[in-house]
């Protein structure tokens, strides 16, 4: 028994120029459409602001995880060298901050990397999708795409609007 996925009605517009895409996003948002998505082969600097995207919380996850990892790494080294197995090596201190910095830094990087990886999967709700259907094979190769969710009776007017905004191809997605 196959599981069918429901995709709400939408319009996909293809652009050749990134500036035309940004201008189209601004115009579509001014008309009141929300839930837009853009597909680009490389980052377009004005696009996140035009789409109305919020600042990501991912850097805070990475920074917090780095400091937690660094603290755990330093604490582990201090515990092993000063309390669990103290060795007096040429009269050097048991807790030597400069000597512990490489492992402290690498522990922070390790925990931050793993935590960011997990946070991206959780935030983006990434999971295996065996029934995935690509909207258009040319997207992100040499075209810029604008995905506009619409009500079924609005598709025709959105087609005309996107054509007037410079889209070289508009189709139902």
Domain ranges of the chain: 10-41+140-172, 58-123
Amino acid 1: pLDDT: 46
Confidence of residue 4 (pLDDT cuts 50, 70, 90): low
Reported as a single tens digit per residue, the pLDDT across 104-148 is 999 999 999 999 999 999 988 888 777 777 888 888 788 899 999
Which DSSP state fits 170? E
Question: What pLDDT is attached to residue 173?
Answer: 78
Question: Residues 148-173: pLDDT tens digits?
Answer: 999 888 888 999 999 999 999 999 87
Helix locations, 6-140, DSSP H: 18-30, 47-51, 58-78, 97-123
In whole angstroms, give the CA distance from residue 148 to residue 13. Answer: 8
CATH 3.40.720.10 given to domain 10-41+140-172: no
């Amino acid at each position: 028994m196959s599981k069918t996925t429901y995709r709400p009605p939408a319009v996909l517009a293809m652009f050749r120029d990134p500036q035309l895409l940004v201008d189209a996003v601004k115009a579509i948002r001014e008309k009141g459409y929300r839930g837009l998505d853009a597909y680009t082969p490389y980052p377009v600097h004005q696009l996140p602001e035009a789409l109305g995207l919020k600042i990501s919380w991912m850097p805070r996850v990475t920074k917090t995880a780095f400091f937690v990892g660094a603290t755990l790494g330093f604490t582990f080294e201090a515990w092993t060298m000063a309390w669990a197995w103290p060795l007096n090596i040429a009269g050097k201190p048991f807790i030597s901050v400069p000597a512990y910095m490489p492992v402290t830094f690498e522990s922070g990087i390790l925990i931050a990397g793993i935590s960011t990886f997990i946070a991206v999967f959780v935030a983006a709700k990434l999971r295996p999708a065996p029934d995935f259907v690509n909207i258009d094979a040319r997207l992100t190769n040499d075209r810029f795409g604008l995905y506009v969710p619409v009500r079924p009776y609005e598709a025709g007017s959105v087609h005309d609007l996107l054509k007037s905004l410079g889209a070289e191809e508009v189709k139902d997605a």
